[in-house]
């Protein structure tokens, strides 16, 4: 049986699929050629990440397809319910990338409070001629320890973010509309661990109390964070979106930054991927990454292995 990993898969995932007797293909087929390629090559399983879409048209025109898999958490690029209604297996890997995304959140946080995103732009241009001036500009950083981190969405990734925040001495507060209580276990390298209980607070309270807000919610029809929500955040606070594009009103975000209501923002995902708005890309108060939350070697190995295990279980 042939499996097409159209957006790539780790070598560990390839090895696991081959060991189970599958023929794994890793060529990248253009979206408009995908239906023909799947049919001409008798593909039974399509594995994607965020680049390839699997919509109704593809599902209807690929009768031999038995499985669609998403290497990652969000499945907004797949018509999941429709695929299932047609008898296809639809799988993803919700646990594999949580730690990687959480660490990127803190990369952005540390970069924000110490102006690294600005300094790394300025030093190549002015480091030789204006070293003292840059030093003065970036000499008013703050520490994360002792600050309040608000987490919107307390699933696997939100919980991993909480663990890191607790570990560095932050006050972590949480909002999630689906749960009332939650607990996380903070594990140390030595093997020791600490269980921490959370009472879920209301949305407005988390916004109002937090020095930093980190979003971990699925794609939505409407904004989670619009102008009204931004206005309720503390003056001088910051927001990080490493979840999905479209959960923040980017126009309202720019307004909040330009009015100095927010100190900075960090974006790993965007409304218009793969062509983010130029105002975001050029803004000197936004720390930017190109949707790389899950893009660590460790996470990709876990994703590949988890996909291979599910494919083997469902198709063999």
Which tens digit of pLDDT belongs to each residue from 16-69?
A: 999 999 999 999 999 999 999 999 999 999 999 988 999 999 999 999 999 999
User: What is the per-residue pLDDT across 221-267, written as a single tens digit (0 to 9) for each?
Assistant: 899 999 999 999 999 999 999 999 999 999 999 999 999 999 999 99
The whole-number pLDDT of residue 194 equals: 94
User: What is the per-residue pLDDT across 96-152, written as a single tens digit (0 to 9) for each?
Assistant: 999 999 999 999 999 999 999 999 999 999 999 999 999 999 999 999 999 999 999
Catalytic residue among 216, 244, 283, 302: 244
3-state SS record for the chain: CEEEECCCCCHHHHHHHHHCCCEEECCCCCHHHHHHHHHHCCEEEEEECCCCCECHHHHHHCCCCCEEEECCCCCCCECHHHHHHCCCEEEECCCCCHHHHHHHHHHHHHHHHCCHHHHHHHHHHHCCCCHHHHHHHCCCCCCCCCCEEEEECCCHHHHHHHHHHHHCCCEEEEECCCCCEEEEEEECCCCCEEEEEEECCCHHHHHHHCCEEEECCCCCCCCCECHHHHHHCCCCEEEEECCCCCCECHHHHHHHHHCCCEEEEEECCCCCCCCCCHHHHCCCCEEECCCCCCCCHHHHHHHHHHHHHHHHHHHC
Catalytic residue among 103, 261, 271, 273: 273
Catalytic residue among 70, 108, 291, 302: 291
Q: How confident is the model at residue 73 (pLDDT cuts 50, 70, 90)?
A: confident
Asked about 291 being catalytic, the answer comes back as yes
In the predicted structure, residue 74 carries a pLDDT above the cut 90: no
Domains of the chain, earliest start first: 2-94+297-315 (3.40.50.720), 98-288 (3.40.50.720)
User: What is the per-residue pLDDT across 290-300, written as a single tens digit (0 to 9) for each?
Assistant: 999 999 999 99
Helix 116-126 and helix 98-113: axis angle, to 10°? 60
């Amino acid at each position: 049986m042939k499996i097409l990993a159209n957006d790539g898969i780790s070598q560990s995932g390839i090895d696991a699929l081959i060991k189970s007797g599958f023929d794994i293909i890793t060529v990248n087929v253009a979206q408009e050629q995908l239906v023909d390629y799947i049919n001409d090559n008798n593909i039974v399983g399509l594995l994607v990440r965020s680049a390839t879409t699997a919509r109704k048209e593809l599902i209807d025109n690929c009768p031999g397809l038995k499985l669609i898999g998403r290497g990652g958490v969000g499945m907004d690029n797949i018509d999941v319910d429709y695929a299932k209604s047609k008898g296809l297996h639809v799988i993803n890997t919700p646990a594999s990338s949580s730690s990687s995304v959480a660490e990127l959140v803190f990369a952005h946080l540390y970069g924000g409070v110490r102006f690294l995103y600005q300094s790394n732009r300025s030093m190549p241009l002015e480091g030789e001629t204006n070293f003292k001036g840059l030093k003065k500009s970036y000499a008013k950083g703050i520490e994360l320890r002792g600050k309040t981190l608000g987490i919107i969405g307390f699933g696997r990734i939100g919980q991993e973010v909480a663990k890191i925040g607790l570990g560095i001495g932050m006050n972590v507060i949480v909002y999630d509309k689906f749960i009332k209580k939650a607990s996380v276990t903070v594990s140390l390298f030595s093997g020791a661990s600490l269980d921490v209980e959370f009472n879920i607070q209301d949305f407005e309270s988390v916004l109002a109390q937090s020095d930093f807000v980190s979003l971990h919610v699925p794609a939505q029809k409407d904004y989670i964070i619009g102008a009204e929500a931004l206005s309720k955040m503390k003056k001088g606070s910051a927001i990080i979106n490493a979840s999905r594009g479209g959960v923040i009103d980017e126009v309202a975000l720019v307004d909040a930054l330009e009015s100095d209501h927010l100190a900075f923002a960090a974006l790993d995902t965007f409304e218009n991927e793969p062509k983010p708005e130029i105002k975001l890309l050029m803004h000197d108060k936004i720390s930017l990454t190109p949707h790389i939350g899950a893009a660590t070697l460790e996470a990709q190995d876990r994703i590949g292995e988890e996909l291979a295990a599910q494919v083997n279980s469902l198709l063999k």
